Chains A and B, each alone.
Chain A
Amino acid sequence: MTEILGSLDDLAARVPDGALLALPPEYSFVPMALIRALIRRGAKDLHILTVPIGGMAADMLIGAGCVKRVECAAVTLGEVGLAPRFSAAVEQGRVEVIDSTCPAVHTALQATEKGVPFMPLGGLIGSDIVKQRNDWKVVDDPLGRGNGKIVLIPAIQPDVAVIHSPLADRDGNVWIGRRRELATIAHAARTLLVTVERVQNESLLASEATAAGALPGLYVSALAEAPMGAKPLGLVEHYEPDHDELACYGREARSEQGFRAYLERTVFAGTRAAAE
C-alpha cells in the first residue's frame, strides 16, 4: 500500500544519504518543495541521475553540498542560462560528473523497467562520452546480421525517485498525464516518493479518461500533499513558472555567497528561528 504521509519532512526522511536519486526533467512535475526539504534535512553524498536533463533542483542540491556525483545528459537553467552551482562545482572538482546523453538515460531506465541487464542503443560511437564510460560497451552486431557496431547501455536502478503531481487518490494512484517518462522512472526505481497538489477520494482508475494518465499506486511508495509544490517551476495546466524568481536564482547563484543568501531566504527562512 502507498503510505500517505503527513508532511514533506516525513517524505524527505525517506531519502537516505548516499542514495542514487532520480530527478525528473525541469518541465515535468519537479518536486521543488521536497528538494528544499531535502536540503533542510542536510542530505549528504547523494548520487543524482537527471532524467535526462537537470535544472534548478539539481543545481540547488549540488550547491547545498548534498551531492557527491551526478549522472546527466545536461544540467541547465534553460532560458535563464547556465546552472551556476553545477558549473562551479564541476570546475572546482567538488562533484563528480558522469556525462551521458538523453536517450542513453532513457534506455538505461527502460532496461530496468524490462528487468534486463542492458539494452543496445544506436548512434553514440565516436563520441567522447562513450570513451569515458567504462560501464558502456561497444560490440559488433551480436546477431551477426551486418548491422555494424552498437553500444550496450547497462540498466540503471535508482534507489529513490521523486516527483510532484497535481493529483493523487487515496489508493496512491498518481496523475502524470502525458509525462510518460515519469512512468519509466517509477517502474525503474526501488522507491518512488511523490508530492501532490491534492489527494482526492475518487479513484483515478474509476474512469478510462483518468486511468490513461495515471501511474498506479503499485509503484508509489509514499506520498504527501504539498500545495504549490513545484514552485517556482511550473506545473502544466495548474501554474506557470515564476520567471522573475527563476531569473533571480540564476543571478544570485552565480556566486557562492549569493547562493547561500538565496538558500537562507527560500529554504531555511523560518526554520532557523523556530529551532532557536
Chain B
Amino acid sequence: MSGDADYSDAEFLITTVARLIETPDVRHVAVGAASPIPGAAALLVRKLKGGTPRVSLIHGKATNPFTDGGREIFDCAGQGRVDVFFLGGVQIDGEANINLVGTGDYPKVDKRFPGSFGSAYMYFVVPKVILFRPEHTRRVFVPKVDFVSAPGLSAPDVRRPGGPKYLVTELCVMSFDAGRGRFRLESVTPGRTVEEVRDNTGFEIEIPDRVAKTLAPEPERLALLRSSVGREIADVYPGFARDMLGVAA
C-alpha cells in the first residue's frame, strides 16, 4: 500500500471489507476455512455494533455455533439464515464466475488447486457474497475462467436468492450488477490508480467518470484491531494475528 501509511495491508483490507458488511440487512456473517481477513472484518463489525451481526467462523470452537455436523452451515444458508459469505478464486472472470479447481483444459489441468469447496451452493443461496482476492493481476482476473466452480449468473428458471455483490482486491473495490452482468469500479486503494486497475483486469468493467478513493482505516477501528478485536482474531487465527496485526494469542 502507500509506503508511509501507518497501517498494514491486512488492516486496510479488513476495514475495507468491514464497511461492506456493516449494513442493517446483515444479521449473520459466516466465514469459511482459512479466511482470516474476512473473519477479522466480521469480528470488527460485531464489536462496533455491539454484538450484531452474528459471526460464525466454521473452524473456531466457541465462535463456531454449529452442532449438527459439516452439513449444518449449508442447510442454515439454504434456510436463508446466512446473509454474508466470502468466496475467492484462482481465476475470476467478468461475469463473476469463479474457478477454485485448476488452470488449463479440465480434467487435464496444468495446475491443480484444492477444489470447489461449498462454492457451488453458497454462491446461490447467500444474498451478499463478497469475492475476496487480494492479488489483482491478469492471471487471476481472466476473460473466461477455465473451470466454473460456481457461476456468477443464472438463468431465470434456476432458483437463486443469492449471488455476488462485491469484489475486494488489493487495488480496488468493485460491485457486481447481476442485471447487467458486470462489475463496476466503486473505489480505488489510496496510492493506486484507475489505469492500474484497468491494466491488471482481463475483462471489461464499468468505470464511472469519477472514482472515489477507498477510505483509509479509521483510527478507532485500527485501535480495536490492535487490541480487543485482535485478541478475538488471535483465538481463531493465531498465526495471522501475530504476523499481520502484532497481537499475541
- A residues at B contact (CB < 8 Å): 25, 27-28, 51-53, 72-76, 78-79, 82-83, 86-87, 90-91, 93, 97, 99-104, 106-107, 110, 121-130, 132, 147-150, 178-184, 236, 243
Interface membership of chain B positions 92-110, coded 1 if the CB is closer than 8 angstroms to chain A and 0 otherwise: 0000000011100011111
Residue with the highest number of chain B CB atoms closer than 10 Å, among A93, A107, A148: A148
- CA–CA, A72 and B116, complex, Å: 9
- Residues of chain B within 8 A (CB-CB) of A122 are 78, 121, 124-125, 159
Stretch in contact with the other chain, from B67-75, B130-138, B213-221: B67-75
Q: How far is the CB of A28 from chain B (nearest CB, A)?
A: 8
Please, which residue of chain B has its CB at the minimum distance from the CB of A103? B74
**In contact, B158 and A79 (Cβ under 8 angstroms):** no
B71 touches A149 (CB 8 A): no
> Nearest-CB distance from A122 to chain B (Å)?
6
Report B157 CB to chain A, min CB distance, Å: 4
Decide yes or no whether B147 CB sits under 8 A from chain A.
Answer: yes
Would you list 26 pairs from A and B whose C-beta atoms are within 8 A, ordered by A residue?
Answer: A25-B70, A52-B117, A74-B117, A87-B111, A87-B113, A91-B111, A93-B108, A97-B112, A101-B118, A102-B117, A103-B121, A106-B69, A106-B71, A121-B121, A122-B125, A123-B125, A124-B121, A125-B158, A126-B154, A127-B120, A148-B158, A149-B157, A149-B158, A178-B66, A181-B70, A243-B239
Residues of B within 8 A of A236 (CB): 61
Q: Which residues in A have their C-beta under 8 angstroms from that of B69?
A: 106, 178-184
The count of residues in chain B whose C-beta lies closer than 8 Å to any C-beta of chain A is 50
CA distance A123 to B113 in the complex (A): 22
- Say whether B101 contacts A102, CB under 8 Å: no
Closest 10 CB pairs of A and B: A180-B69, A74-B115, A123-B124, A126-B151, A102-B118, A181-B69, A76-B114, A106-B71, A74-B114, A103-B74
Q: Which residue of A lies closest to B121 (CB)?
A: A123
Task: Pick from B34, B71, B124: contact of A110, CB below 8 A.
Answer: B71
Assess whether B118 is in contact with A127, with CB atoms less than 8 Å apart: no
B116 touches A101 (CB 8 A): yes
B149 at interface, CB cutoff 8 A: yes
The answer on a CB contact under 8 Å between B125 and A125 is no
Give the chain A neighbours of B141 by CB distance below 8 A: none
Contacts A148-B157, A179-B69 given: A73-B116 contact, CB under 8 Å? yes
Known: A99-B101, A99-B116, A178-B66. 13 other contacts (CB 8 A): A73-B115, A73-B117, A90-B109, A97-B107, A122-B159, A123-B120, A123-B121, A123-B125, A124-B120, A128-B101, A178-B68, A184-B69, A236-B61
Given contacts A74-B100, A123-B120, contact A82 B148 (CB under 8 A): no
- Docked complex Cα distance between A75 and B100 (Å): 11
Is B86 located at the chain interface by the 8 A CB criterion? no
Asked if B71 and A79 sit within 8 Å, CB to CB, the answer is no
Identity of the chain B residue whose Cβ is nearest the Cβ of A126 in the assembled complex: B151
Nearest to B160 among chain A residues (CB) is A123
- The tally of CB-CB contacts under 8 A between chains A and B is 144
CB of B119 within 8 Å of the partner chain: yes
B55-98 residues at the A interface, CB under 8 angstroms: 59, 61, 66-72, 74-75, 78
Closest to B75 in A: A103
Residues of A within 8 A of B176 (CB): none
* CB-based nearest A residue for B149: A127
**How far does the alpha carbon of A157 sit from the alpha carbon of B150 in the complex, in Å?**
26
A147-B159, A181-B71 in contact; A102/B114 too (CB < 8 A)? no
Instruction: Evaluate contact between A83 and B106: CB separation under 8 angstroms.
Output: no
Contacts of B159 in A (CB 8 A): 122, 147-148, 150
**Across the interface, do A180 and B106 meet the contact criterion of CB distance under 8 Å?**
no
B5 within 8 A of A: no
Q: Report which of A27, A106, A124 forms a contact with B124, defined as CB distance below 8 A.
A: A124
Interface flags, B195-218, vs A, CB<8A=1, else 0: 000000000000000000000000
State how many angstroms separate the Cβ of A236 from the closest Cβ of chain B: 7
B71 near A128 with CB under 8 A, answer: no
Nearest chain-A residue to B124 (Cβ)? A123
Closest B residue to A52 by beta carbon equals: B70
Asked whether A126 and B115 contact (CB < 8 A) given A78-B33, A102-B121, the answer is: no
Closest A residue to B123 by CB, please name it. A123
- Closest-CB distance, A194 to chain B (whole angstroms): 17
